[in-house]
Amino acid sequence: MQSQIKLEGMKPGHLEQVAALSVVESQLPFVGTMEEILVNVDDVVHPVVIQMEARVVGFFLVDTQYGQRYDFAPGDALGLRGFFVDQHYQGQGIGTRAVAALKTFLRAEYPHAHQIVLTVNCKNPAAKICYERGGFIDVGELYHGGAAGPQHVMSMMLETQEEEAR
Ligand SMILES: CC(C)(COP(=O)(O)OP(=O)(O)OC[C@H]1O[C@@H](n2cnc3c(N)ncnc32)[C@H](O)[C@@H]1OP(=O)(O)O)[C@@H](O)C(=O)NCCC(=O)NCCS
């Protein structure tokens, strides 16, 4: 049986494990270093840890003002930023399962949010596959503002089908 993946808002007790997370050098253009990601954290950009068997194996940010920062996202959309799995844990399905757990996590933590949006580099098919398997849809628009080349814009609705039908 596969190990359970849990998403949890980062707490001070996670810091030591979070600081030790990294990606391989060739992946740095996609997310940057842990240090570079953490400087984005403030009262509107929230850090979240991906855990497997109580060990921190990955990380991402939920940006509650993403829609106000970027024209390609609706004004009230959340943003997914800095998503990664530590280099020693990649290729085990953790990224895919973390994205699959995202909707439930966000509905609990951000009950008023309708949608989450992200950008993924066109040269990063592994991440795009992960997002698609977890329910994100390529909106068919390219964002050219990133330092490492064009990025696909992807989006996932957070309502259930019943809520959408209302
Ligand atoms: C993208 C990322 C989060 C995927 O996490 P992961 O746990 O390794 O992903 P999974 O094991 O769930 O694999 C998902 C798919 O990605 C692909 N994949 C995974 N590792 C790969 C690799 N090293 N090279 C090429 N494709 C790869 C595979 O197609 C895999 O599908 P499969 O299960 O059919 O083989 C992880 O590779 C990562 O952190 N990358 C660096 C940071 C990054 O690019 N973040 C995204 C920013 S938008």
* Protein residue with its CA nearest to atom 45 in ligand 1: 84
* Protein residue with its CA nearest to atom 30 in ligand 1: 126
Using most ligand atoms within 8 A of CB, pick from 37, 81, 129, 152 the residue to mutate for ligand 1.
129
Would the pLDDT of 128 be above 70?
yes
For the ranges 16-30, 48-62, 137-151, 152-166, which has the lowest average pLDDT? 152-166
Confidence of residue 166 (pLDDT cuts 50, 70, 90): low
Residue 92 burial (CB count, 10 A): 14
66-117 pLDDT tens trace: 999 999 999 999 999 999 999 999 999 999 999 999 999 999 999 999 999 9
The Cα–Cα gap between 134 and 7 comes to 14
Closest ligand 1 atom to Cα of 87: 39
**CATH of segment(s) 5-165:** 3.40.630.30
The Cα–Cα gap between 4 and 54 comes to 9
Whole-number pLDDT of residue 146 = 83
Does 96 sit in the ligand 1 pocket, CB within 6 Å?
yes
Does 122 sit in the ligand 1 pocket, CB within 6 Å?
no
**3-state SS of the chain?**
CCCCEEEEECCHHHHHHHHCCCCCHHHHHHHCCHHHHHCCCCCCEEEEEEEECCEEEEEEEEECCHHHHCCCCCCCCEEEEEEEECHHHCCCCHHHHHHHHHHHHHHHHCCCCCEEEEEEECCCHHHHHHHHHCCCEEEEEEECCCCCCCEEEEEEECCCHHHHHC
The Cα–Cα gap between 60 and 72 comes to 20
Percent of the chain with pLDDT over 90: 90
Could you tell me the residue ranges of all domains in the chain?
5-165
Please give the distance, rounded to the nearest whole angstrom, from the Cα atom of residue 83 to the centre of ligand 1.
11
Whole-number pLDDT of residue 162 = 60
The Cα–Cα gap between 49 and 4 comes to 14
